[in-house]
Structure 1
Amino acid sequence: MNAPSFLSEAQARHVPVAVPSLERKRLRAYIALLVADVISILAGFAIGGLIYRGDLPDTQALMEAQLFLPLFLTIALYQRVYSIRSLTDAQHAALRICMAVVVAAALLNFLAFYAKFNTSFSRVTFTLGLVLSTLFMVAVRSVSARVLRRRWGPVARNILVLHDGGPALEMKWAAHLDASEYGIRPDPSDPHMRDHLARVLENQEEVIVSCPAERREKWALILKASGVHGEVISDTAQHLGALGIKHYEGQGCAGLIVSVGPLGLRARVAKRLFDLAAAGSALVILSPVLIIAAAAIKLSDGGRVMFVQRRLGRGNRLFTVLKFRTMRESGGDREGAVSTSREDARVTRIGAFLRKTSIDELPQLINVLRGEMSIVGPRPHALGSQAGDKLFWEVDGRYWHRHALKPGMTGLAQVRGLRGNTEQEDDLSARLRSDLEYISDWSLMHDVAIMIRTLTVLSHDRAY
């Protein structure tokens, strides 16, 4: 990892390597346990049929299993059979499984009664199948919980305690970092520091900061934009907008919960699948447009086809955004300090057309496939972007909060017509309100609606 310029040589040698993502491992564990539950139910009913009828497989028993299985899986999801606590707490998982089995069995019998096919059920086979299935699932949880608890600890989450001169806090199942040793400081106005911190916090799900009172507010602002569950150790919640308090018994201090990730695991999986499907399909369908645009740029002046620029992404981490080059080679602005204006002399003839039709943004479909962007989200801004004569984050401190989600190719602000140059501070404020509204009210259907509305505003008079 290349160390940012603000780190000393000694600190650069100690930049921590990102921890493996437990969230991905948990997802694989959930899928494995779901498959194990399916096998347990089918095996339980098959053995039940063998015990009572002497047949393997027994058609009656397998029919009952096939009817019971979808109901159980549906109820199990609502009963949180597949949850973090159920991964490492066998007793909790067993209780949830038993509740799901009882509810699913009762619902199946209720439906069978009204459909008038419950008379074809073998009560003995059905009961044996339920009991054996439950025993198998509980046995699997007993073994898996013991293994996962030993490998991941009792919380099965990546937790980081960041010590920045505050009260001492000991947590056995957390990683501990000294902020001064790794060159970390709470500077909300330094995008490079935020990028460095984003790399330190990569794959962390819960971050607890212990710092003096004078730095708590700055840490709170940074954690709110980090996309993780954040806490600031303190004896007061004043001015922090704390969401709650978490007490640590015997430690003499408490954690103020100042941020939570905007989307849960299921929502992030759904959004990512939507991004992959939409971006992959768009690249295939629009490939002729991409090829023609690239050829036109190359033939116009022989220069580079692509324009790349560092921009702020999720968790305020810097990434390289891709666009078709629309300006002369000598007119590129890598930091984005000079916004494009109407009749801008730097824009080429083909570039003006690409900008007006939004074709210049299409290479960002690659950013979406790489996981750096989403189809829908707050638009990514260059480091030097200004509203009036102020940098964006100087206009409103909440600006950093818009980076709690991945940046998007389009967003709520864009479909509302809030596009183009930010000549006044109000131009940014209006977009920021839309971005924060989008984050707080996110839903997959909302993304679909914004994507469809974007098709109606691809060409607009503020594209220059």
Structure 2
Amino acid sequence: MAPFRAELEADLPLIPVARAPRRVRLAFGQVLLDQAALALGFGSAHLLVARPGPAQVFVFQVSLMMILYVMSAFILRAFSTDGLMMRSRSLPRALGALVLAATLFTFFHFLLLVPVRMSRLEFLCGAAIWAGLLMASRFVFVKHAIRALGGSLYTTIVLLDRSGGNTFASSFVGPGTTVVDICGMFDPATAGPGEYDALARLIGQADRVVVSCHLDRRSDWAHAMRGMNVHAEVIAPELREVGALGIARHADNTTLLLARGPLGLRARFCKRGFDIAFALGTLLLLLPLLVIIAIAIKIDSPGPVFFRQPRIGRQNRVFQVYKFRSMNVNVLDAGGRNSTRRCDPRVTRVGQFIRATSIDELPQLLNVLLGDMSVVGPRPHAVYSTAQEQLFWEIDSRYWHRHACKPGITGLAQVKGLRGATEYTSDLTNRVSADLEYMYNWSFLGDLLIIFRTLSVIVHPKAY
């Protein structure tokens, strides 16, 4: 027992301490820095504007904005620890909290007719300066947080138990990770008080402990770690191919969580409400254009105005998508086996125009109202679409994964320029990767950005 304790205690100075206190201090510092940027922004505007409001109004304005910003920041997770080291999360969340706070302030003050005289120019200038200071300070603060945390939010200790043939995996190495070969020093099957005490000294300062051991030793390590008051995990490499997301229970059985919907209930409710409002508003706004296009289609070639085609939608269910007919009736391809190509002879004269401008997709707003589609999401493909004479699901098995959410009129793949005919297998794999990226990183703000970016690619060289 004594040699074991001496050996472990000799290694203790090499074990990094928990990062939790540093994370808390950095998060608190982020709050203070944001509030300082707010005060400095509005203070600068108060001094620069020719006719600022009274001093007591300035104090009221800054105080209320501070309260509203903190509330908004907590709602949008602008102070969460995962944003300390990622500018892609820190900056958009902070800017979103700023916009929400300014909107709430405007509502409380102007719409409720608060009887306090305030300079609108001073408020707008203050908000603009604050936004600039907020973005600059957050940009610099992330760099400081990365350095302060050593490149990792958490301290992780990997315990390697080679008993039973377990081997070291180089993938364990990473920022904030310390690997300890525990074989010969601690045996969870026979350990006594002294060994447990020494092990506690080793892992007590860790945010996370990962055990790598043989299958036959897992139950012993599980028994040992349950009393250590630490976040502990055991590596199960045989589950890598399964791709389990976590552990769950059904009745008295332990189950592996294999999949979950990409959006939670609140996110789906928010997305559906926006879809209905956007689809109805756009249809009413574009109604004259839709009528003109319908008349042009009827005059240009015989046949119906709309073209219905089976597409693969959410949960891999087939639904009928609506489009303006852009091809001659006798060569319509309902199965989608032949992608439309440049100068395709099947396309009518009106069809060339509406396809080049993406107007042919507008009837899909009806699919949005029916609930088959969303405004933003992975584009639905025809059932038998191919690339290099291979069906899509034969090219990339991930193809079925993209149907975990509703298909969209536009999507991340489209604004990245991944559209048009799928002539090569890479055309399909690139789109699938973009669709999965959208699903895994979904946010309401992201949907709005995709809609705005779509405006710049409505007319596209690959739209034919």
TM-score by length of 1: 0.48
- Radius of gyration: which is bigger? 2
After TM superposition, the score normalised by the length of structure 2 is: 0.48
